[in-house]
C-alpha cells in the first residue's frame, strides 16, 4: 500500500489508545482504574444541555459559517474581554472543532515545509504531530536542569531563521505547572523581537489552584495592532467539562483568522451547529460549574500529592493547575512505556507514559477521577512497585499474588 510521507510520520494518539485499552478491559469486567484520562467527569452546565436540546427539538440544524455562528463569536469576544481585558472584533475570532482544530488550522495557515516550531518539554502529545502534519519540524526545548521550566535563554538559543512559531501551554499538560509571569513576558517579547508567532494554548487557564492566576499574555505585548503575531487558543472542553462537544477557538489578527477560516472551510466547514449553541450557552450562562470543578480538582490534586509523598523513590512536582500530575518514576523503570504496560497488566491501573510528552521515566497521572480512584490507583501502583510490599493484594474479592520481583 502506498502511504504518504506525512501519513507515515504520524504516530497514534497515545491518550486515545489508552482510553481504548481501558474500555476493552472494563468491558471484560476487569477492575480498571483509569488514571490516564484527560477529561473532567462532571456534567456540562445545564444551560449548555438545554440550549443543545432546544436546537435539536427545532430540527433546524444546518451548516454554519466556517468560522462559527455570530452568537458564538460574540460570546468569545465577551470572554476575551472578561478574562484577558482585551477588546477584539468578530474578524479576530474563529470557532473550531475543539482547541485541537484551532491549533491545527493555525499551524496550517503559518507553516511551510522545513519551518520550525518551538515548544517546551514536557509538551502536549499533539504538538509534534501537528507540526509534522504541516511538513514542518518540531523543536522541543528541554530545561537543562531537568525541571519543567525551561529558561528563556534555552528557548532563545533554539530560535533560528527557520523558526516560525513558539507554542506555550500554561498551565501545562502533562506537568500541571504554570510558567512564571516573568517567563511569559520574556516569551512574548522574544517572539515580538524575532518576528515569530506565539501560540498561547490557554485551554486550562481557569483551572488553576492555590489562589494563583494564569498569566495574561496581552499584558506584555508591545504590539497589539493587526500586525501582532500573538494567537490565543481556548475552548469549552476542559473548563466546562464539554470535551465531546468539540468547540474551541483562536483569537488572532484579522488576516490570519481569514486564512484559518479558508482552511477550516474546506477541511470541515464550521463546527457542529448543535455544539456551537451549547458553547454559547455555557459561555454566557451561570459560571458556578467552573468554580466547582476547579475546587474539586484542587482537592483531588491535594489528595494525589499526599498519596505520592508516601511513595518511596519517586519525584512529584506539585501541579499549579489542570488535572494532571507528571511524576518521575525513573527509579523504578526508565522506560515509561514498559512501566505503563506493566501497571495495566499487573494491577489494572492506566497511566500515560511520559515518553509521549517528551520525558521518558515519567508517568502522567490524572486527577479527573474520584478520590477513591486516586487513592486506590496509587495504592495498587505502590504495591506493584515496592519490593517490600506484602505478597498479596485484594481488589474487591480478587486476590492478586505478586509473581515478580
Ligand X SMILES: Cc1ncc(COP(=O)(O)O)c(C=O)c1O
Q: Which is nearer to ligand X, 317 or 375 (CB)?
A: 317
**The three cell numbers locating residue 345:** 497488566
* Residue 100 touches ligand X, criterion: CB under 6 A: yes
CB of 178 to ligand X, least distance (A): 13
**The three cell numbers locating residue 41:** 467527569
User: Which of 48, 137, 203, 232 forms a contact with ligand X (CB under 6 A)?
Assistant: 203
Nearest residue to ligand X by CB is 98
* Residue 357 touches ligand X, criterion: CB under 6 A: no
Please tell me the distance from the alpha carbon of residue 83 to that of residue 119, in angstroms, as a whole number: 24
User: Which of 36, 37, 38, 358 forms a contact with ligand X (CB under 6 A)?
Assistant: 38
Please, are residues 255 and 229 in contact by the beta-carbon 8 Å criterion?
no
CB of 389 to ligand X, least distance (A): 33
Per-residue binding letters, 139-178, with ligand X (x by CB under 6 A): ------------------------------x---x-----
Which residues lie below 8 Å from residue 256, measured CB to CB, with a gap of 6+?
Answer: 106, 109, 110, 231
Please tell me the distance from the alpha carbon of residue 340 to that of residue 14, in angstroms, as a whole number: 11
State the residue for C-alpha cell 454566557.
Answer: 284
User: Which of 235, 271, 354, 369 forms a contact with ligand X (CB under 6 A)?
Assistant: 235
Peptide bond into 115 cis (omega under 30): no
How many residues sit close enough to ligand X to count as binding (CB under 6 A)? Answer: 13
Burial class of residue 235 (count of CB atoms within 10 Å of its CB; 0-12, 13-18, 19+): buried
The DSSP secondary structure of 206-249, one letter per residue, reads: T-B-TT-----GGGG-S--STT--EEEEEESTTTTT-GGG--EE
* Residue 131 touches ligand X, criterion: CB under 6 A: no
Interacting stretch for ligand X, rule CB under 6 A, among 98-106, 249-257, 287-295, 372-380?
98-106
User: Which of 124, 197, 240, 326 forms a contact with ligand X (CB under 6 A)?
Assistant: 124
* Residue 201 touches ligand X, criterion: CB under 6 A: yes
**Can you give the binding site for ligand X, defined by CB under 6 A?**
38, 98-100, 124, 169, 173, 201, 203, 235, 237, 243, 248
Amino acid at each position: 500500500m502506498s502511504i504518504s510521507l506525512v501519513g507515515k510520520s504520524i504516530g497514534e494518539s497515545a491518550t486515545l489508545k489508552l482510553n481504548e485499552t481501558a474500555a476493552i478491559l472494563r468491558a471484560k469486567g476487569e477492575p480498571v482504574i483509569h488514571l490516564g484520562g484527560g477529561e473532567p467527569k462532571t456534567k456540562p452546565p445545564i444551560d449548555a444541555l438545554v440550549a443543545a436540546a432546544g436546537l435539536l427539538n427545532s430540527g433546524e440544524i444546518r451548516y454554519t459559517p466556517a468560522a462559527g455562528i455570530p452568537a458564538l463569536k460574540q460570546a468569545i469576544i465577551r470572554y476575551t474581554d472578561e478574562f484577558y481585558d482585551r477588546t477584539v472584533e468578530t474578524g479576530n475570532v474563529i470557532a473550531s472543532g475543539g482547541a485541537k482544530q484551532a491549533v491545527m488550522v493555525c499551524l496550517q495557515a503559518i507553516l511551510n515545509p522545513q519551518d520550525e516550531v518551538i515548544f517546551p518539554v514536557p509538551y502536549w502529545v499533539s504538538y509534534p504531530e501537528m507540526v509534522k502534519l504541516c511538513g514542518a519540524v518540531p523543536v522541543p526545548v528541554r530545561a537543562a536542569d531537568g525541571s519543567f521550566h525551561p529558561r528563556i535563554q534555552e528557548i532563545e538559543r533554539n530560535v533560528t531563521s527557520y523558526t516560525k512559531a513558539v507554542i506555550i501551554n500554561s498551565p501545562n499538560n502533562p506537568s500541571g505547572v504554570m510558567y512564571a509571569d516573568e517567563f511569559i513576558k520574556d516569551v512574548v517579547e522574544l517572539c515580538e523581537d524575532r518576528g515569530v508567532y506565539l501560540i498561547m494554548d490557554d485551554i486550562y487557564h481557569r483551572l488553576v489552584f492555590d489562589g494563583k492566576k494564569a498569566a495574561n499574555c496581552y499584558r506584555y505585548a508591545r504590539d497589539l495592532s493587526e500586525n501582532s503575531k500573538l494567537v490565543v487558543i481556548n475552548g469549552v472542553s476542559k473548563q466546562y467539562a464539554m470535551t465531546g462537544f468539540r468547540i474551541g477557538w483562536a483569537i488572532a489578527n484579522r488576516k490570519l483568522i481569514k486564512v484559518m477560516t479558508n482552511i477550516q472551510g474546506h477541511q470541515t466547514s464550521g463546527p457542529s451547529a448543535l455544539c456551537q449553541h451549547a458553547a454559547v450557552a455555557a459561555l454566557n450562562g451561570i459560571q458556578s460549574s467552573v468554580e466547582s470543578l476547579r475546587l474539586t480538582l484542587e482537592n483531588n490534586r491535594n489528595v494525589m500529592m499526599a498519596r505520592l509523598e508516601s511513595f518511596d523513590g519517586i519525584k512529584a512536582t506539585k501541579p499549579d493547575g489542570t488535572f494532571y500530575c507528571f511524576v518521575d518514576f525513573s527509579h523504578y523503570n526508565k522506560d515509561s512505556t514498559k512501566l505503563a504496560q506493566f501497571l495495566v497488566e499487573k494491577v489494572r491501573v492506566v497511566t500515560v507514559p511520559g515518553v509521549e510528552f517528551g520525558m521518558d521515566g515519567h508517568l502522567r497521572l490524572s486527577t479527573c477521577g474520584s478520590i477513591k480512584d486516586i487513592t486506590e490507583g496509587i495504592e495498587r501502583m505502590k504495591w506493584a512497585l515496592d519490593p517490600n510490599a506484602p505478597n498479596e493484594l485484594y481488589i474487591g474479592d480478587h486476590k492478586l499474588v505478586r509473581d515478580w520481583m
